[in-house]
Amino acid sequence: MDYRKLIEMVSVSKREALSSKLVDVILLSKNDEKMPSQLANTILHYWQQDTLMSESGLTALLEAAALLDPGKTVDVFTALELVDMAAQIREATVKT
């Protein structure tokens, strides 16, 4: 799934909330072992630079959240009324 394209469809007004909720999914996940270190390092870099709300930052967060906890990731998009995107993530993560 092209996470970048999906993130590009998220309106700017929802990006801060999306970023925060995806961070929660990642930090509270019990599936630590599923986090690729390169992706973790990328997220830490964006966090250090305060750019987790950028399209690149959100893409990395979404990729990590979908790997660690796809169900909660779908819930985040649903809660933010990004229903079409939630459906796409559900479909992609169920397939994988």
Q: In terms of CB distance, is 9 or 28 closer to other proteins?
A: 28
Q: How far is the CB of 83 from other proteins (least distance, A)?
A: 27
Binding site for other proteins (CB under 8 A): 23-24, 27-28, 32, 35, 37, 40-41, 43-45, 47-48, 50
Per DSSP, 54 falls in state S
Q: How far is the CB of 43 from other proteins (least distance, A)?
A: 7
Residue 86: name the closest of 1, 29, 28, 20 by CA.
Answer: 1
Tokens of 89: 């993530």
Helices 55-68, 12-28: crossing angle, 10 deg rounding: 40
Q: How far is the CB of 60 from other proteins (least distance, A)?
A: 12
